[in-house]
């Protein structure tokens, strides 16, 4: 195990062992699920797609928050899985681990993010090529570093589909944090200086888990609430259903490119 020089900070004590006591592949049985999977943070869009496409449940896992379903639909003649990854880095990482153990291998996540620049309109598409690791989960999967990078194949697939469908987008760095109620003005200024234009809670962990497990994962975000000023502006970002649905189908198309 690699320890920090001072041995004061457990988060920096990275263990390179590939096997844990609770190893997903040993406690979760693989199922006949699609290898392509969209991780959708929009619960109302999942419900809409499930109803309209007559999706079937192909896997189910129970957490203390309830049951989590993995759905399957046919899209463009191919099998596609859909699942909600939960909110926050530990939750999303755990769900991704279980999906990988179940049999999915190629992922595109779609979600919203706070903007650190108010010029970014609500609904504008953002492709986070790098995630700043200001959460804890990724440090259990990769050695300490400032940023973790999106899988290049996923990054290329996302760009291809956005260009094909003529959607304008920004390529960015995103700030992944565990503490949305500690996004202070000083931290926001600091993150902006490092090139981050969005803040969210999962990207760094998702990228790290995917890299550790050697699967392909990318993410598409859209500009949501504004935290760039002296006061928070929700901009009613969570009510933009048409934007959220469009993002889901773009993610689905990009996923099937992998």
Domain with 114 in it: what CATH number? 3.40.50.1580
Whether 1 maps to a domain, the answer reads no
Burial of 72 (0-12, 13-18, 19+ CB in 10 A): buried
**Cα angle 143, 5, 22; round to 5:** 45
Residue 147 lies in a domain: yes
- What's the distance, Cα to Cα, between the start and end of the chain in Å? 34
User: Is residue 99, in this structure, part of any structural domain at all?
Assistant: yes
**Containing structural domain, residue 160:** 30-256
pLDDT of the residue at 7: 64
Is 0.85 topped by the overall pTM? yes
Maximum Cα–Cα distance for the chain, whole Å?
A: 56
pLDDT at 108: 98
Ranges of the chain whose pLDDT falls below 70: 1-7
Tokens of 85: 């990854």
Counting the structural domains of the chain, the total is 1
Residue 239 lies in a domain: yes
Pair type for strands 169-177 and 196-200: parallel
CA-to-CA dists, residue 185 to 3, 73, 181, 231, 246, angstroms? 32, 43, 12, 10, 32
pLDDT of residue 8: 81
Structure confidence at residue 20 (pLDDT): 94
pLDDT recorded at residue 241: 80
């Amino acid at each position: 195990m690699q320890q920090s020089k001072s041995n004061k900070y457990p988060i920096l004590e990275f263990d390179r062992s590939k096997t844990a006591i609770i190893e997903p592949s040993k406690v979760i049985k693989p199922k006949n699920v699609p290898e392509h999977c969209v991780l959708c943070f929009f619960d109302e869009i999942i419900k809409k797609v499930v109803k309209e496409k007559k999706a079937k449940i192909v896997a189910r896992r129970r957490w203390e928050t309830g049951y989590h379903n993995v759905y399957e639909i046919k899209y463009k003649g191919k099998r596609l899985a859909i699942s909600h990854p939960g909110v926050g880095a530990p939750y999303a990482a755990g769900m991704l681990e279980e999906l990988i153990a179940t049999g999915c291998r190629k992922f595109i996540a779609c979600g919203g993010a706070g903007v650190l620049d108010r010029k970014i309109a609500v609904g504008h598409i953002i492709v986070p090529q790098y995630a700043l690791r200001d959460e804890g989960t990724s440090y259990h999967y990769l050695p300490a570093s400032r940023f973790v990078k999106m899988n290049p194949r996923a990054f290329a697939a996302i760009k291809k589909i956005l260009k094909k469908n003529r959607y304008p987008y920004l390529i960015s760095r995103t700030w992944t944090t565990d503490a949305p109620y500690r996004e202070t003005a000083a931290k926001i200024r600091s993150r902006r200086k490092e090139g981050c234009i969005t803040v969210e809670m999962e990207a760094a962990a998702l990228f790290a888990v995917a890299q550790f497990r050697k699967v392909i994962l990318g993410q598409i975000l859209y500009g949501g609430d504004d935290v760039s000023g002296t006061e928070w502006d929700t901009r009613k970002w969570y009510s933009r259903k048409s934007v959220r649905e469009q993002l889901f189908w773009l993610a689905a198309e990009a996923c099937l490119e992998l």
